[in-house]
Structure 1
Amino acid sequence: MTHNTNQISPLRNRMLEDMTMRKLSTQTQTAYLRAVKNFAGFLGQSPDAASAEDLRRYQLHLVEQGVSSGNLNATITGLKFFFETTLDHPELMKKMRHVYEPRKIPVILSLEEVTRLLQSAGGPKYQAALGVAYGAGLRANEVVHLTTGDIDSERMVIRVEQGKGKRDRYAMLSPTLLELLRVWWQHARAQRKMLPGGWLFPGQNPVNPMSTRQLARAFHLARKAAKIDKAVSLHSLRHAFATHLLEHHEDIRIIQVLLGHKKIENTARYSQVASKLLREVKGPLEYLEIEPPV
C-alpha cells in the first residue's frame, strides 16, 4: 500500500509503517485507518490524546447509533492496533470490548433461482463472473482478481491466488462454467476488452480489474430482473454453491477444500440449510407404530 508521505501526519505515517512491516493487506490497512479517522472525528482532536474513558464513550456512542456488531468489532480491532502497536499504550484499550456477534444461517437460493439469476445477467461478462461466484464458490474479491492464466482447462481447475487468509488454492472448473468463460473470452477478445494474460474480468480500463462493487451491482440488477425477492447478496452465490453440493451428497471435506475453509466447522453449518438433506432424514416417529386414540 503506497502513500505520499509528504501529505500525511507523522502519526499516520507511523501507523502505515507498522501495518506495512506486518504485511497487512491493503483492505485491512484501509479499514484500520478509517477506524482511527472516525474516532478522531468523534474526539475532536488527535487520537493520540485520547484516554481510556474516551474510548469507552466512543464504543457506547457507536452502540447507541445502531452500528452492527460486525462493524463495531472491526472498529475496535483497528483502534486496538493503533493504540497497542503504533502508540504502545495497550492500557488505553482496557475499557473497550468486542461484542458477541450472533451467527445467522444464510438465506439460500434454489437451483431454479440461480438459473433465473444467471440468465438475467447483463451480458456474457456478468454471466461468466456470477457463474464463477456460484459454479466455483469463489468470494467476490477472488472472482475479480482472476487472470486469464488462472483458468486451467486441461486440469479443469481454477487457481485462486492469495485468497482469504493469504492462502492459495484450486477451485473446481465444471464444463458448463468453462463454456460460460469461453463465450465471455471470445466476446472480450473480439471487442478488445481483455489484455493478453490480463484480468479475466477487467474494469472499464482493462489494465485494472473489475471492482467488487461493480460485480455486486450486477448481481442485484440480475436479482431484480429475475424477480427474486429473497434478502440475498453476491456472497449468497457462494452459500448456494456449498449447500447445493451438500444436497447432492458431495463429501463435506471436499467442499471444505473447495471453499478454502480452514476449519471444518465453517463448512458444516451448511448442513443446517441443506433442505433436501433434511427432507431425506427419516424422523424418529416413523419408527413407531402409534395407534389412533379411541
Structure 2
Amino acid sequence: MDILNKKHRSGVKKPFRLEEIWRIRTRLEIENSFMQLALLNLAIDSKLRASDLLPLKVCDISSQDRMFTRVKHIQQKTDVEVQFEITARTQQSLMKWIFVATLKTSDYLFPSIRRKQQPISYSYYRYLVRKWASNLGLDPSLYGTHSMRRTKATLVYAKTKNIRAVQLLLGHTKVDNTIRYLGVELEDALLLSEGTDC
C-alpha cells in the first residue's frame, strides 16, 4: 500500500482546470499577493518548466517599461527554442509586481527573500502550487510545478484537439512525448485520425 501511495504522489501531476485557475486568481487578488499572482499567470502563459521559469529576469520579458507580448526562450533541458505569449492579464500582473517590488531590469522576476541575488527556489515554487491546490480543497500531492506547465497545454488541446500545436508550444521534439504528456487516450487519437481526411 505504501509503495502504491508513493508512486501516486510522484507520478504525473494534474493540470488545473480553468475554473480552478480563476478561483486561485481571485483569492490572490483579494490577498494582494502580487508576486504569487504574477508567478501563476506567467507560469500558465509560458508553459515553461520550473528550471526555465524561475531564472527569468525582468529584462527577459520587458524593455524600457514596455512588456513584451511574445518571448523566445531556449529551454535548458532540451536546448530547443520555444515561444510563448504574455497575455494582457499576465502583463498587468507582472507590471504591478515589478512596480510594487521595485525590481530593476537586471533583477530576477521572482527574487528569493532569503538568498541574495537568487530567484525563488524550486521547492518554494512547488510549495506555492500545492498551497493553491490545497486552498481549493484539492489533494495537494496530485499537484506540483509541472501542473503549471500542463495547464494551458491541456486547455489548448481540449479546445483544438491539435497535438502538433501543443507540441510546438511545449517544445517537444517528438509528438509521442506530447501525446504521453497530455494523456491522450488511444480512442481519442483514433477519433482524431478518423476525422482527418487525406
Query: TM class, shorter-chain normalised?
Result: 0.7 to 0.9
**Within 1, Cα distance between the matches of 2:144 and 2:38?**
17
The 1:118–1:142 alpha-carbon spacing in structure 2 relative to 1, beyond 3 Å, is farther
The separation in 2 between residues aligned to 1:223 and 1:268, in whole angstroms, is 25
- Contact 1:136 / 1:171 at 8 angstroms: preserved in 2? yes
Q: Which runs of 4+ in 1 moved over 6 A?
A: none
Q: 1:201 aligns with which of 110, 113, 124?
A: 110
Aligned pair 1:246/2:153, yes or no?
Answer: no
Equivalent position of 1:185 in the other structure? 98
Whole-angstrom CA distance in 2 between matches of 1:163 and 1:238: 15
Using the alignment, how far apart are the partners of 2:135 and 2:6 within structure 1? 32
1:211 and 2:124 equivalent?
no
Q: Is the 8 A contact 2:13 2:146 kept in 1?
A: no
1:207 CA displacement: 1.2
Aligned residues: 175
SS in 2 for 1:120: helix
Correspondent of 1:227 among 133, 137, 152: 137
Q: Does 1:266 pair with 2:177? A: yes
One-letter code of the match for 1:127? L
Q: Helix, strand or coil: the match of 1:235?
A: helix
CA distance in 2 between counterparts of 1:116 and 1:69 reads 29
Mapping 1:52-91, distance limit 5 Å: none
- The Cα RMSD (Å) is 3.2
Larger RCO (CA within 8 A; separation ≥ 6):
2
2:84 paired with 1:171: yes
- 8 Å contact 2:61–2:67 — kept in the other structure? no
Deviation at 1:155, TM superposition (A): 5.2
Q: Secondary structure at the match of 2:84?
A: strand
Separation in 1, partners of 2:154, 2:74? 24
1:110 correspondence with 2:23:
no
* CA positional deviation for 1:206: 4.9
Give me the whole-angstrom Cα distance separating, in 2, the residues matched to 1:187 and 1:154: 16
List gaps (5 residues or longer) in structure 1.
Answer: 1-64, 71-103, 282-294
Aligned-partner residue type, residue 168 of structure 2: V
- Higher gyration radius (CA): 1
Residue 26 (structure 2) pairs with residue 119 (structure 1)? yes
User: For residues 31-50 of structure 1, what are the structure 2 equivalents within 5 Å?
Assistant: none
SS state at 2:78 partner: coil
Distance change (3 Å), C-alpha of 1:216 and 1:255:
same
- Separation (CA, whole Å) in 2 of partners of 1:272 and 1:251: 11
| Deviation of 1:167 (Å) | 3.3
SS in 2 for 1:207: coil
1:226/1:176 CA distance change after superposition, 3 Å = same
Question: 1:215-266 deviations in whole A, cap 9, x for unaligned?
Answer: 1111222222222236222211211211101112174323212211111111
Q: Cα offset for 1:108?
A: 3.5
Paired residue type of 1:118:
R
TM-score in terms of structure 2 length: 0.73
Distance in 1 (alpha carbons) for counterparts of 2:155 and 2:130: 21
- C-alpha displacement at 1:161, in angstroms? 3.8
